[in-house]
């Protein structure tokens, strides 16, 4: 009888309550002895008799009741197992190591596996990895594909413990944290097909602009201009007509196109060959025609799609044109952008921006000017130019500058109290945050990305933001700027500021040290007038020369110290040539080198002097970040490469900043990016 099973739980309580009722009768019998002893004695006899009868009945029928309960449980388990086995939804039971313990008939038919198949679920569905199953959630859902069918998979964890599971003593696990997993598969193939078909039938809007319409027409004879326009129209119409599109010419150099979403993948696979096709149009024009295309994708409304396409075309033009920008919500994709933007010969835009800047300054009392973090000569010179403009208007201006590099210090020392400048001309971020108010103006120079500025928080303290920059725009831009002047064809921000100053006020007169600062910014960014120089670059330099800028004085101010020169030489000396055309090196961040990032940029320029090098990449570890300086002459678009790494810049001058990685990891990421882009055809060696 020792092995005889006992009742427990609610069943045990139910079976014992007749016996427990005897105690209640006995308690009720006690008061009767005070009133009537005979009655009390009779009730006592009744209670004892009742207890004996109930106990005998319980003992005689206990085994029978137990047998009936076990029989019911057996039948219930059999029915339950049969129901699970005939369940119309594929169902399987896995152990905590993702090994299949049991599967129903539907699961066996779907996977074409026998019920005795007890291997890991990953052997059937490779996409169901241990990482997915080991998540902390009690249930998880994901999508899997099996033989051209799409299933929505759901995994529920089944824990067996004494508190939560009835009958937990029937299955003993080795550890408390072990569990079973129930896997369900819901066939969503048809639903997925209808969703995809519906998406493919959605309309996509696109705006097409001719970047250099006026310049291309001016380069040919007047009698051939109509022919050139007709050939461009024909190329555009033919390319998009093949995609069942509707094409509407809005203006002489603008088109509006609508086509179905299913053709977008074809255009992307084709890499928008229309960009290269229009360049082949030659009717005597010296300048190749280039297009910019902005495509908007949205599921909300057609007006939202058009708005996205408008934002995309603005971004394409801001990045220099000759490219396609696809905007789908917050996701932005870029295609093309391999050619150099043509310099605009007219200064009309500079004059308009100068007058707009003057109007903004007139209505404000405080002006805060800042460039990017770890400021270079271009940002410093442009900030000095904006400071001079504010001084002409009689406004209080501050230049936000947190860190003064060794290359910048000689130039900054030219603006001291002894030389007639206020003590608070240069302030740090903390002080700027205390002084700024809602009516202040914040002028950002040499960057259009908020996170790259000296004090990103300052942008949120006012709505009056002005941006002057010569870098190509990315998806991360300074929003709600009241004035934005971004020209990627300009050699430097200092060139743009020098042009604006000429139209800002007739009475503006730059001091020699102010002209030196702006001139130095142009000199550094053009690598001594050897890269990205145009007619307007030399005109700006000539204006600064007339204001008193002196080449010899600037050259002395820009000289490096011995430690920086040695660091640059070491970077050049240890450069590695990758795939026969790319020079990759690491600039030593020695404690004696005050500005290793600048030394890295200079080393990248030096590496281009080596025969056969088409692009150079120099990595510098500084302030827990990896700074990458990339340079090229004209064959490789380093901007596209840096954008893959989260950076940006120009066609031949770009950079990126990487966090949470080592120098070797960053170097490996550059090599992997180059391999991928060479394989995809985005760059050519």
Tens-place pLDDT, residues 472-482: 777 778 888 89
Segment 594-608 mean pLDDT: 87
Residue 342 has a pLDDT of 53
Whether the CA torsion 261, 263, 267, 268 is positive or negative: it is positive
Q: Select the more confidently predicted residue: 438 or 78.
A: 438
Q: Select the more confidently predicted residue: 389 or 113.
A: 389
The matching CATH number, chosen from 3.30.1370.10, 3.90.105.10, 3.50.50.60, 3.30.450.20, for 91-194 is 3.30.450.20
Rounded to 10 deg, the angle between the 377-392 and 493-504 helix axes is 10
Q: Which two tokens stand for residue 296?
A: 């908007």
Lowest mean pLDDT: which of 50-64, 107-121, 218-232, 254-268? 50-64
Instruction: Burial-class residue 602 by CB neighbours within 10 Å (0-12, 13-18, 19+).
Output: buried
Evaluate if residue 341 carries a pLDDT over 60: no
Segment 172-196 mean pLDDT: 74
Evaluate if residue 604 carries a pLDDT over 80: yes
Enumerate the β-bridge partners of residue 444: 370, 467
SS (H, E, C) 230-289: HHHHHHHHHHHHCCCCEEEEEECCEEEEEEECHHHHHHHHCCCCHHHHHHHCCCCCCCCC
Evaluate if residue 173 carries a pLDDT over 50: no
Residue 502: which pLDDT band, with cuts at 50, 70 and 90?
A: very high
Please answer whether residues 455 and 443 qualify as being in contact, where contact means their C-beta atoms are separated by less than 8 angstroms: no
Distance CA 333, CA 341 (A): 20
Please answer whether residues 640 and 661 qualify as being in contact, where contact means their C-beta atoms are separated by less than 8 angstroms: no
Segment 359-382 mean pLDDT: 91
For 102, list phi and psi in degrees, rounded to 5.
Answer: -160, 150
Segment 379-386 mean pLDDT: 95
Q: Pick left, alpha or beta for residue 272 (phi over 0 → left; psi -120 to 50 → alpha; otherwise beta).
A: left
Distance CA 482, CA 353 (A): 11
Lowest mean pLDDT: which of 263-277, 333-347, 378-392? 333-347
Residue 6 has a pLDDT of 56
User: What does the pLDDT look like over 288-322, one tens digit per residue?
Assistant: 888 999 999 876 788 888 899 998 998 888 777 88
pTM, entire model: 0.61
Q: Select the more confidently predicted residue: 23 or 468.
A: 468
- Per the CATH hierarchy, to which homologous superfamily does domain 348-557 belong? inorganic pyrophosphatase (n-terminal core) (3.90.1640.10)
- From 374, 370, 399, 373, select the one nearest 598 (Cα to Cα): 374
Q: Which CATH architecture has domain 562-680?
A: Roll (3.10)
From the DSSP assignment, how many helices (H) and strands (E) are in the chain? Answer: 23, 23
Lowest mean pLDDT: which of 99-103, 205-209, 230-234, 640-644? 99-103
Q: Which 3 state secondary structure label does DSSP give 656?
A: strand
Evaluate if residue 443 carries a pLDDT over 50: yes
Evaluate if residue 505 carries a pLDDT over 70: yes
Q: Select the more confidently predicted residue: 167 or 85.
A: 85
Half-sphere exposure of 473 (CA within 13 A, CB side): 25
**% of the chain with per-residue pLDDT over 70:** 89
Residue 127 has a pLDDT of 82
Distance CA 51, CA 55 (A): 6
Evaluate if residue 390 carries a pLDDT over 90: yes
Residue 174: which pLDDT band, with cuts at 50, 70 and 90?
A: very low
The DSSP line for 157-173 is EEE--TTT-TTGGGS--
Please answer whether residues 411 and 380 qualify as being in contact, where contact means their C-beta atoms are separated by less than 8 angstroms: yes
Evaluate if residue 162 carries a pLDDT over 50: no
Please answer whether residues 392 and 504 qualify as being in contact, where contact means their C-beta atoms are separated by less than 8 angstroms: yes
Please answer whether residues 405 and 595 qualify as being in contact, where contact means their C-beta atoms are separated by less than 8 angstroms: yes
Lowest mean pLDDT: which of 76-80, 406-410, 592-596? 76-80
Segment 178-182 mean pLDDT: 77
Whether the CA torsion 110, 113, 119, 125 is positive or negative: it is negative
Residue 147: which pLDDT band, with cuts at 50, 70 and 90?
A: confident
Distance CA 600, CA 586 (A): 8
User: What does the pLDDT look like over 553-588, one tens digit per residue?
Assistant: 988 888 877 888 888 899 999 999 999 999 999 998
Number of C-beta neighbours around residue 614 at 10 A: 19
Longest dimension (CA), the chain: 137
Region 205-336: CATH code: 3.30.70.270
Residue 589: which pLDDT band, with cuts at 50, 70 and 90?
A: confident
Helix spans in 363-459 (H): 377-392, 409-412, 429-435
- From 336, 652, 239, select the one nearest 325 (Cα to Cα): 336
Distance CA 385, CA 357 (A): 13
Residue 582 has a pLDDT of 94
Q: If you average pLDDT over every residue of the chain, what do you get?
A: 84
Residue 42 has a pLDDT of 81
Residue 519: which pLDDT band, with cuts at 50, 70 and 90?
A: very high
Evaluate if residue 3 carries a pLDDT over 60: no
Q: Select the more confidently predicted residue: 180 or 400.
A: 400
Lowest mean pLDDT: which of 70-84, 130-144, 425-439? 70-84
Residue 24 has a pLDDT of 74
- Using alpha carbons only, give the angle 205, 210, 213 rounded to the nearest 5 degrees: 155
Instruction: Burial-class residue 433 by CB neighbours within 10 Å (0-12, 13-18, 19+).
Output: middle
User: What does the pLDDT look like over 7-20, one tens digit per residue?
Assistant: 555 666 666 667 67
Distance CA 600, CA 558 (A): 16
Residue 675 has a pLDDT of 92
Residue 626 has a pLDDT of 92
Evaluate if residue 150 carries a pLDDT over 80: yes
Half-sphere exposure of 459 (CA within 13 A, CB side): 24
Residue 29 has a pLDDT of 72
Evaluate if residue 670 carries a pLDDT over 90: yes
Contacts with 408 (C-beta within 8 Å, 6 or more apart), sequence order: 375, 376, 377, 380, 595
Residue 543: which pLDDT band, with cuts at 50, 70 and 90?
A: very high
């Amino acid at each position: 009888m020792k092995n005889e099973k006992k009742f427990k739980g609610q069943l045990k309580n139910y079976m014992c309550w007749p016996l427990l009722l005897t105690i209640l009768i006995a308690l009720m019998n006690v008061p009767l002895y005070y009133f009537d002893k005979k009655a009390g004695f009779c009730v006592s006899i009744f209670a004892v008799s009742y207890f004996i009868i109930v106990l005998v009945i319980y003992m005689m029928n206990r085994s029978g009741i137990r047998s009936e309960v076990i029989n019911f449980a057996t039948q219930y388990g059999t029915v339950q197992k049969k129901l699970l086995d005939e369940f119309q939804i594929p169902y399987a039971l896995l152990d905590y190591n993702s090994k299949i313990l049991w599967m129903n008939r539907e699961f066996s038919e779907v996977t074409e596996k026998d019920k005795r198949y007890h291997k890991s679920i990953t052997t059937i569905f490779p996409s169901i990895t241990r990482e997915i199953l080991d998540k902390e959630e009690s249930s998880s859902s994901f999508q899997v594909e099996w033989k051209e069918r799409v299933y929505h998979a759901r995994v529920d964890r089944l824990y067996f413990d004494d508190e939560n599971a009835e009958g937990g003593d029937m299955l003993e696990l080795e550890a408390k944290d072990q569990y079973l997993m129930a896997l369900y598969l819901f066939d969503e193939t048809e639903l997925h097909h209808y969703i995809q078909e519906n998406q493919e039938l959605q309309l996509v809007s696109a705006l097409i602009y001719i970047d250099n319409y006026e310049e291309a027409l001016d380069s040919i004879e007047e009698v051939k201009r109509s022919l050139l326009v007709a050939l461009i129209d024909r190329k555009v119409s033919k390319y998009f007509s093949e995609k069942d599109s509707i094409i509407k010419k809005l203006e002489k150099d603008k088109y509006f196109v609508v086509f179905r979403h299913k053709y977008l993948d074809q255009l992307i696979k084709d890499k928008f060959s229309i960009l290269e096709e229009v360049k082949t149009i030659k009717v005597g024009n010296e300048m190749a025609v280039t297009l910019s295309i902005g495509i908007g994708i949205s599921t909300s409304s057609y007006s939202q799609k058009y708005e996205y396409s408008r934002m995309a075309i603005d971004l394409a033009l801001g990045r220099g044109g000759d490219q396609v920008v696809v905007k789908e919500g917050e996701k932005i994709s870029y295609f093309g952008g391999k050619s150099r933007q043509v310099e605009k010969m007219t200064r009309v835009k500079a004059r308009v921006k100068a007058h707009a800047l003057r109007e903004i300054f007139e209505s404000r009392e405080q002006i805060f000017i800042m460039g990017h973090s770890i400021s270079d000569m271009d940002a410093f010179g442009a900030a000095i130019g904006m400071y001079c403009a504010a001084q002409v208007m009689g406004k209080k201006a501050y230049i936000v500058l947190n860190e003064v590099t060794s290359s910048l210090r000689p130039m900054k020392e030219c603006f001291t109290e002894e030389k007639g400048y206020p003590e608070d001309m240069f302030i740090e971020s903390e002080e700027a945050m205390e002084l700024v108010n809602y009516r202040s103006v914040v002028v950002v120079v040499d960057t259009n990305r908020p996170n790259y500025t000296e004090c990103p928080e300052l942008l949120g303290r006012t709505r009056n933001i002005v941006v002057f920059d010569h870098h190509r725009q990315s998806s991360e831009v300074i929003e709600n700027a009241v004035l934005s002047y971004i020209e990627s064809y300009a050699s430097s921000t200092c060139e743009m500021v020098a042009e604006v100053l000429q139209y800002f006020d007739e009475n503006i007169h730059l001091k020699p040290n102010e002209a030196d600062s702006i001139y130095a910014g142009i000199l550094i960014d053009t690598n001594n007038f050897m890269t990205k120089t145009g007619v307007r670059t030399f005109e700006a330099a000539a204006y600064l020369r007339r204001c008193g800028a002196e080449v010899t004085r600037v050259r002395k101010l820009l000289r490096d110290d011995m430690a920086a020169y040695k660091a640059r030489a070491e970077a050049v000396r240890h450069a590695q040539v990758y795939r026969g055309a790319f020079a990759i090196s690491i600039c030593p961040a020695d404690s004696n080198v005050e500005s290793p990032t600048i030394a890295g940029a200079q080393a990248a320029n030096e590496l281009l002097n080596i025969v056969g090098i088409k692009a150079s990449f120099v990595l510098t570890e500084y302030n827990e970040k990896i700074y990458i300086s990339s340079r090229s002459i004209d064959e490789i678009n380093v901007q596209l490469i840096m954008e893959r790494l989260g950076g940006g810049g120009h066609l031949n001058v770009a950079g990126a900043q990487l966090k949470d990685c080592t120098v070797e990891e960053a170097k490996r990421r550059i090599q992997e990016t180059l391999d991928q882009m060479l394989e995809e055809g985005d760059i050519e060696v």
